[in-house]
């Protein structure tokens, strides 16, 4: 039996959320979406997903603020964070380099790149 991995998508744009799910439809992922930073924080207080797809631009806070609240939470040490953002400014890449993230990916998402990152994060065979 294949293991199912819990994935939290912190994404306020429903079209981007559906695109993410479509790109990763062949992976054993159970998706939960948090369309705001507050909803992501509430979810992460109770659960530690295997993967977190984090948008930076959220309606109520920056994605970095979500991550900052949990950087010292040992339950989330095993969660791989993939930042998916339209923000291309160098300052955001710098912030990302200082945060515990697996990858920083600019939108629009390149499906093959994202699938490869997920394989790496979950140690799945190609």
**107 within domain boundaries:** yes
Give residue 104's domain range: 5-80+95-122
pLDDT digits 0-9 by tens, 92-115: 888 888 888 999 999 999 999 999
Q: Check which CATH number belongs to the domain holding 62 and give it.
A: 3.40.50.2300
pLDDT digits 0-9 by tens, 13-59: 999 999 999 999 999 999 999 999 999 999 999 999 999 999 999 99
Q: How many domains does the chain have?
A: 1
Which DSSP string corresponds to the chain? -PPPEEEEEE-S-HHHHHHHHHHTTTS-EEEEEE-SHHHHHHHHHH---SEEEE-SB-SSSBHHHHHHHHTT-GGGGGPEEEEEES---HHHHHHHHHS--SEEEESSP-HHHHHHHHHHHHT---
Going by pLDDT thresholds of 50, 70 and 90, the confidence category of residue 126 is low
SS3 call for 89: coil
**89 within domain boundaries:** no
**90 within domain boundaries:** no
**88 within domain boundaries:** no
Going by pLDDT thresholds of 50, 70 and 90, the confidence category of residue 74 is confident
């Amino acid at each position: 039996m294949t293991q199912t991995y819990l994935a939290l998508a912190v994404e306020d744009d429903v079209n981007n959320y559906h695109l993410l799910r479509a790109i990763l439809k062949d992976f054993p992922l159970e998706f939960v979406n948090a369309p705001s930073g507050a909803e992501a924080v509430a979810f992460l207080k109770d659960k530690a997903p295997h993967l977190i797809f984090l948008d930076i631009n959220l309606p109520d806070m920056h994605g970095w603020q979500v991550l900052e609240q949990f950087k010292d939470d040992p339950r989330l040490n095993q969660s791989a964070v993939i930042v998916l953002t339209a923000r291309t400014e160098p300052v955001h890449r710098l912030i990302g380099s200082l945060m515990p993230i697996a990858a920083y990916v600019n939108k629009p998402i390149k499906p093959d790149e994202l699938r490869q990152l997920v394989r790496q994060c979950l140690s799945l065979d190609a």
